[in-house]
Structure 1
Amino acid sequence: MEQPHLESQDESVKPLDRVKVIDLSRLVSGNMLTHVLADLGATVIKVEPPRKGDELRAWQRDGMSTYWLAYSRNKHSVELNLRTPEGMDALRGLLSDADILVENFRPGTLERMGLDKNMLNALNPKLVVVRISGWGQTGCFANKGGFGSLIEAMSGFAAMNGFADLPPVLPPFAMADSVAGIYGAALALAAMHGQRNREQPTIQEIDLSLFEPLFSILGPQAAEYQLTGKTTPRSGSRSPTHAPRNVYRTKDEKWVALSAGMEGTLARLFDGIGYPQGLTDPRFATHEARLKNIDALDALIQGHLTKLSLAEALDFFAVRDITAGPVCDIADLLTHPYILERNLLVEQQAPDGRKVLVHAAPYRINGSRPTIARGAPTLGQDNERWLAATPATPTPGQTQMTTEQI
């Protein structure tokens, strides 16, 4: 597959081309954050431990670090042993002129490394430090391990995901980490903008937990519970706020998703399935009635779609301007016209020479989409460039870190 076609070569497609980011994080949250910044043109330097590197490299499929390829493109890799004074001196050198530092150690680790707020402020007062942790830098859970699955369970997400008569369902991808990473990118850029507007910058620390961003996007659960005294039960693919909204099986054993909560859309749907009296039927005449009688409403819609193939169902919805579409998997999407026309997948070369498809930057700026300037780096690929060019910055009395401290 070819690289995305760029309608223009406007330099604003890389608005962060003079921003330097030092990434000490591991796994998904920090990598997602710096992935967003790298695609926007920032120079992202991944500082990785010797030999094994970022744990994300170990998430492999068929011998390839697919997650590393997808989320570490456009980045640089520096291999440093931060358990030694020499490694810490080199890190301080990298930080001395950086704009953003990203870390996701347990709270207190940065301080034990000798990179407390006062020291960083003396080293580089314009620095923005994004501190990602499971539960935040303070509170009763601050020192509790915070892997994303725990957050997805405790945030309320799993309790509302799945079907009422089946167990709660965790997401099949790193949802909490990804949401925190995207939040973190916005916060880092906002803090950096604020730094540039200050006459005398002082270090800015962002306390970003995995829990709070995911909790924040789950909707008005607290308000609804406060008002009703009831939690929202799991409802599968149905919505607790409007109906119909579900997935329906077609004659050829495919699936379509339908959301027809607006009455104009619903009127066209009722007319199309041969039930024009739908909006005058007391069971379906009002929003509340439709939610109360959702089983009967879904059965009516399913009864019609059972007679249609997927292609026929999509035509049925299209001619009536009904908001519905197919349930696609990645095999469907590789040849889907929307994906192809929007150039949403591009080829990237892996270190072993194989070419794999990865997602393109999910936006355009002035008609242009950022390209992959460089693939995901091998471990320590950029040591010579950055460590030779950046003088080490020693700190008197710096002690060697133990294995347990990082």
Structure 2
Amino acid sequence: MSATATAFAAPVPPSTALSKLRILDLTRVRAGPTCCRIFADFGADVIKIEAPDGVDPNETMSGARDGYDMLNLHRNKRSLTLNLKRKEGLELFLKLVETADVVVENYRPDVKSRLGIDYEALKARNPRIILASISGFGQDGPYVGRAGFDQIAQGMGGLMWLTGLPGQGPVRAGVATADSTAGLYAATGILVALRERDTSGEGQWVQTSLLQAQIALCDFQAARYLVDGVVPEQAGNDHPYSTPMGVVETADGFINLAVGGDGQWRDLCRAIQRSDLVDHPDYATQPERLAHRAEVWALLTPIFASDTSANWLQRLEEVGVPAGPIYRMDEVFEDEQVRHLGIARTVPHPRLGEVTLVGQPIGLSRTPAAVVSPLSDKGADGADILAEIGLDAARIADLKAGGVL
């Protein structure tokens, strides 16, 4: 660690919540790393297993190792290089499986079988092992051979025709919704499997996909079609059925206004000093406001344009109408509530100095998550990890010289 790093405050102690778990992380890009990061932040021994340099033709897909994305996704993990295409590398991996609780992978579905690390192979070495597989479209079916990426899943899962202004054409979300959600669902499945293993003593195969996760994330919009047969359309910044709920321009910017019920409509009328609108037959009830949505916004637009965002937010808060600012990312982390929540977590890095990352959005009263270390250099922890399964320094050196590590 550099002199700069050692000058920082004492490191945060790791979480002990999942300290008895060992996770073998074969993942890359985003969905799988998102899953494994949860376990790492809550204290599990997560071993990030990567191919040695030059073995994986797509090794640069995840970006620079010291880049913001890799640092944020892979903190708190130990790093080991293994060439799983070599017999010795595969055997070392299976030896690690004997000591592990969970293996997480997001290869294309057929890769596991070709490498010899499918669920049946892992189960033969450790009946308690849980394999979590994240794919683009599922582990079987007509699309099983397709490559899956977040934006493809956003399109196929319905999100892109829900996002954007009416008539605009499909619009992707500004973040990787399918990837991140698939990672979260995989972590949920793993936790369920771990709890069930306490009863049965057996592991199992947990599966999710970007496509499933994206559809599930659409939630009420998907249910709207399945239950009522309604195909939701793009609504821009308007809520599908509550009005006025959306973005409104002020004298110096924009705010979100969220009037969800008739009582809040009355409170809004008080805030804008328009008591005549309270019982107006076209606006007094939610169904009527929805039917006259364009008129409602036409009434409100010039009113909100007459004062600043800060003044409107204060007035709306005073009467209990939900509203909020619309921040750029720099403003997000300057907000006093965001600072109070402490979701930005700082960790020392040996080359970059102090690095601030996005913490877990989950609070536990006794064993909270912690960001304690940055992403290790590739393979930096290999000697320690392999020593834990009985390899001595000479054997490790031979394997490294032979291209296995």
State the TM-score, normalizing by the size of structure 1: 0.88
In structure 2, the partner of 1:216 is 216
Work out whether 1:268 is the aligned partner of 2:288: no
Matched-pair contact (CA < 8 Å) for 1:361–1:369:
no
Matches within 5 A, 1:336-347: 336-347=335-346
Greater shift, 46-55 or 292-301, is seen at 46-55
In structure 2, the partner of 1:171 is 173
Residue 33 of structure 1 deviates from its aligned partner by 0.2
Matched-pair contact (CA < 8 Å) for 2:215–2:222:
no
In structure 2, do the counterparts of structure 1 residues 56 and 216 end up closer, same or farther at CA, with 3 Å as the change threshold?
A: farther
Identity, in percent, stands at: 26
Greater shift, 94-103 or 167-176, is seen at 167-176
Residue 34 of structure 1 deviates from its aligned partner by 0.4
Matches within 5 A, 1:226-305: 229-252=229-252, 254-305=253-304
Greater shift, 240-249 or 46-55, is seen at 46-55
Give me the whole-angstrom Cα distance separating, in 1, the residues matched to 2:97 and 2:36.
16
- Please report the RMSD computed on the Cα atoms of aligned residues, expressed in angstroms: 2.3
Residue 172 of structure 1 deviates from its aligned partner by 2.0
Work out whether 1:32 is the aligned partner of 2:34: yes
In structure 1, the partner of 2:63 is 59
In structure 1, the partner of 2:89 is 87
In structure 2, do the counterparts of structure 1 residues 222 and 340 end up closer, same or farther at CA, with 3 Å as the change threshold?
A: closer
State the TM-score, normalizing by the size of structure 2: 0.88
Matched-pair contact (CA < 8 Å) for 2:40–2:46:
yes
Work out whether 1:103 is the aligned partner of 2:102: no
Give me the whole-angstrom Cα distance separating, in 2, the residues matched to 1:4 and 1:150.
44
1:107-140 CA deviation, whole Å, 9 max, x = no partner?
Answer: 1211111223332222000000001101101111
Count of residue pairs brought into register by the alignment: 382
Residue identity opposite 1:214 in structure 2: Q
In structure 2, do the counterparts of structure 1 residues 164 and 55 end up closer, same or farther at CA, with 3 Å as the change threshold?
A: farther
In structure 2, do the counterparts of structure 1 residues 65 and 226 end up closer, same or farther at CA, with 3 Å as the change threshold?
A: closer
Greater shift, 149-158 or 303-312, is seen at 303-312
Gaps of 5+ in 1: 393-406
In structure 1, the partner of 2:377 is 378
SS of the residue 1:374 aligns to: coil
Matched-pair contact (CA < 8 Å) for 2:28–2:62:
no
SS of the residue 1:299 aligns to: helix
Give me the whole-angstrom Cα distance separating, in 1, the residues matched to 2:288 and 2:9.
50
Greater shift, 234-243 or 110-119, is seen at 110-119
Matches within 5 A, 1:134-145: 134-145=136-147
Matched-pair contact (CA < 8 Å) for 2:29–2:62:
no
In structure 2, do the counterparts of structure 1 residues 56 and 161 end up closer, same or farther at CA, with 3 Å as the change threshold?
A: farther
Matched-pair contact (CA < 8 Å) for 1:93–1:391:
no
Residue 203 of structure 1 deviates from its aligned partner by 3.6
Greater shift, 264-273 or 355-364, is seen at 355-364
In structure 2, do the counterparts of structure 1 residues 56 and 243 end up closer, same or farther at CA, with 3 Å as the change threshold?
A: farther
SS of the residue 2:208 aligns to: strand
In structure 2, the partner of 1:402 is none
Give me the whole-angstrom Cα distance separating, in 1, the residues matched to 2:67 and 2:358.
15
Aligned structure 1 segments of 4 or more residues deviating by more than 3 angstroms: 2-6, 52-58, 220-230
Give me the whole-angstrom Cα distance separating, in 2, the residues matched to 1:155 and 1:171.
12
Give me the whole-angstrom Cα distance separating, in 2, the residues matched to 1:187 and 1:223.
22
Gaps of 5+ in 2: 1-7, 392-405
Residue 193 of structure 1 deviates from its aligned partner by 1.3
Matched-pair contact (CA < 8 Å) for 1:3–1:347:
no
In structure 1, the partner of 2:205 is 205
1:279-326 CA deviation, whole Å, 9 max, x = no partner?
Answer: 321221222211121111112222221111122111111211110010
Residue identity opposite 2:371 in structure 1: I
Give me the whole-angstrom Cα distance separating, in 2, the residues matched to 1:212 and 1:196.
27
Residue 236 of structure 1 deviates from its aligned partner by 0.6
Matched-pair contact (CA < 8 Å) for 2:11–2:372:
no
Residue identity opposite 1:326 in structure 2: P
Matched-pair contact (CA < 8 Å) for 2:186–2:207:
no
Greater shift, 219-228 or 229-238, is seen at 219-228
Residue identity opposite 1:354 in structure 2: G
In structure 1, the partner of 2:74 is 72
